[in-house]
Amino acid sequence: MASEVRGVVALAKGEPVSLVTIVVPDPGPGEAVVTVQACGVCHTDLHYREGGINDEFPFLLGHEAAGVVEAVGPGVTSVEPGDFVVLNWRAVCGECRSCRRGRPWYCFATHNATQKMTLQDGTPLSPALGIGAFADKTLVAAGQCTKVDPAARPEAVGLLGCGVMAGLGSAMLTGEVGLGDSVAVFGCGGVGCAAIAGAVLAGASTVIAVDLDPGKLELARQFGATDVVDASSEDVVASVQALTDGNGADVCIEAVGNPKVMEQAFYARDLAGTLVQVGVPTPDMRIDLPMIEFFGRGGQLRPSWYGDCLPSRDFPMLVDLYLQGRLDLDRFVSETIGLDDVEEAFHRMERGEVLRSVVVV
């Protein structure tokens, strides 16, 4: 029997979201229905609502979630009812050209549930990032469920499902930060603070936080930044160089999604350093670099998709580090809210007041 539950839906471009009744089908082959316990509010949800991703309204929002598997469809063996899971948007296929070459974290053919959740009148919903977890229950592909230790707090570990994983991975996986490295993180929202936490975990000895907002710089320190640069008043490149013996940082991470910041991160690197781009640009953004600077500085420029994570490998490991007290995921949870407070949470996010508002269902 399909279930009728509550869900936060963006019905039309730019309009406030609505809490409505949605229909969640029983899981078919390869699918699972998950009872959502917690789901973080991410910029990407707002981008969907503003029509910035595509025009496939209505959207069922929410995608940084943890919950319990309620039912699985035929052929599902990876999870079973009762499992505590973090949802991911990288269900790897195992067969595409990237998976076959041993790089499943780039999988070019990730999948979502085949069936559609709908409004009560049968209108199909487009779930954000194939998840749609601002709801009592959601239907996903079984591969989108990663089983983790149920001792963990859902509000905290659900955030691994998107922004926090992207930030941690931008430092630990894409940036390959190592012992004794110097790292500069540009933009200290949820993603940037996670990059700082990742750099610290990976053994960086100098971790420089760059932001315009003094409150964010204070948070960055709490996540382990050793130095801060106030981008509203300082020459950012000169300040990063001054904090690294005049050389620039080994790894610079752009976590804003801004061409000016990208340029600063490019020039704030040491020779042969790495620039990681984890902030998501809009289609109109451009950067203009002299080719001689590109060549002369060497190193690597690396975009980071979802922190280059492999959920089945990385989520359980990071949850274990959290439970051991070595990765403070609780600090990302600025507030917990109800399903009826998502619209207001978007405004708090736009005003920069929170790292993450987390809906508790």
Ligand X SMILES: NC(=O)c1ccc[n+]([C@@H]2O[C@H](COP(=O)([O-])OP(=O)(O)OC[C@H]3O[C@@H](n4cnc5c(N)ncnc54)[C@H](O)[C@@H]3O)[C@@H](O)[C@H]2O)c1
Residues near Zn ion (CB under 5 A): 42, 44, 93, 96, 99, 107, 109, 162-163
Cβ proximity to ligand X: between 113 and 240 the closer is: 240
- Toward ligand X, which CB reaches closer, 33 or 225? 225
User: Which one of Zn ion, ligand X, none is in contact with 278 (Cβ closer than 5 to 8 A by kind)?
Assistant: ligand X
**Three-state SS for 229?**
strand
192 touches which of Zn ion, ligand X, none (CB within 5 to 8 A by kind)?
A: ligand X
The binding site for ligand X (CB under 6 A) comprises 43, 162-163, 166, 186-192, 210-213, 216, 231, 255-258, 261, 278-280, 304-306, 352
Q: Looking at beta carbons only, is 72 or 146 nearer to ligand X?
A: 146
Tell me whether residue 5 or residue 280 sits nearer to ligand X (CB atom): 280
Distance of closest approach, residue 280 Cβ to Zn ion, in angstroms = 10
CA distance 174 to 275: 10
| Separation CA 296–CA 316 (nearest Å) | 41
Q: How far is the CB of 101 from ligand X (least distance, A)?
A: 21
Cα 113 from Cα 95, distance rounded (Å): 18
**Tokens encoding 125:** 């919903």
Give the span between the Cα atoms of 117 and 123, in whole angstroms: 9
E strand or H helix at 157: helix 154-157
Residue 150: CB atoms within 10 A of its CB come to: 14
Shortest spacing between CB 118 and ligand X, in angstroms: 27
Contact 266, 236 (CB under 8 A): no
Residue 83 interacting entry, from ligand X, Zn ion, none, C-beta within 5 to 8 Å by type: none
Q: Give the one entry of ligand X, Zn ion, none that residue 89 binds, where binding means its C-beta sits below a cut-off of 5 to 8 angstroms depending on kind.
A: none
| Binder of residue 107, out of Zn ion, ligand X, none (CB less than 5 to 8 A by kind) | Zn ion
* Tokens of residue 276, six digits: 């990681």
First to last CA, the chain: 22
